[in-house]
């Protein structure tokens, strides 16, 4: 019974998934179903990463949050061994969203990284939401 109580409290304390509050964007060159003609962008969910991924930045649904954090792991269930944080700045890319400042995916994701977790932190550094670990695929 005590175990169930402890597990129940841990589940209640976990932040909800971010879902579409964190999205990638890329300037489109060819038409696709996700393009935003008024901005010239393709906006998409970030489900994985590969060095061949072509995205220019990350958009975060702005509700007063202080920053975007990406945690890196060696295995899906392992502890985080490295974090990258990005301030949020005003963006015209999508209404209600801010852009992760100075985000360059080729510099953020490294060859030794295997999984990443994206989360939005509030001004106190607490997670407002957190996605499940996502896989990083190796390049050529």
pLDDT tens digits in sequence order for the chain, 140 residues long: 545 445 444 456 789 999 999 999 987 666 566 666 666 788 899 999 988 887 789 999 977 767 999 999 998 888 889 999 999 999 888 889 999 999 998 899 987 889 999 999 998 999 999 999 999 998 76
End-to-end CA distance of the chain: 51
Whole-number pLDDT of residue 48:
93
What is the helix (H) or strand (E) element at residue 107, kind and residue range?
Answer: helix 105-108
| DSSP-assigned beta bridge partners for residue 129 | 120
Whole-number pLDDT of residue 52:
83
Strand bridging mode 57-61 / 22-27: antiparallel
Is 3.80.10 the CATH classification of the domain at 2-135? no
The rounded distance, in Å, linking the Cα atoms of 61 and 107 is: 23
Q: Are 60 and 98 in contact (CB under 8 A)?
A: yes
The rounded distance, in Å, linking the Cα atoms of 33 and 109 is: 27
Which residue has 């301030």 as its token pair?
Answer: 87
Whole-number pLDDT of residue 33:
62
Whole-number pLDDT of residue 40:
73
């Amino acid at each position: 019974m005590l175990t169930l109580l402890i597990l129940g409290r841990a589940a209640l304390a976990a932040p909800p998934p971010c879902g579409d509050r964190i999205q990638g964007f890329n300037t489109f060159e060819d038409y696709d179903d996700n393009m935003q003609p008024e901005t010239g962008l393709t906006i998409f969910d970030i489900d994985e990463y590969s060095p061949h991924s072509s995205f220019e930045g990350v958009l975060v649904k702005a509700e007063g949050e202080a920053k975007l954090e990406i945690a890196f792991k060696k295995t899906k269930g392992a502890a985080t061994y490295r974090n990258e944080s990005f301030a949020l700045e005003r963006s015209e890319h999508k209404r209600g969203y801010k852009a992760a400042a100075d985000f360059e995916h080729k510099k953020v994701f490294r060859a030794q990284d295997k999984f990443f977790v994206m989360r939005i932190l509030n001004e106190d550094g607490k997670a407002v939401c957190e996605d499940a670990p996502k896989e990083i695929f190796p390049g050529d």
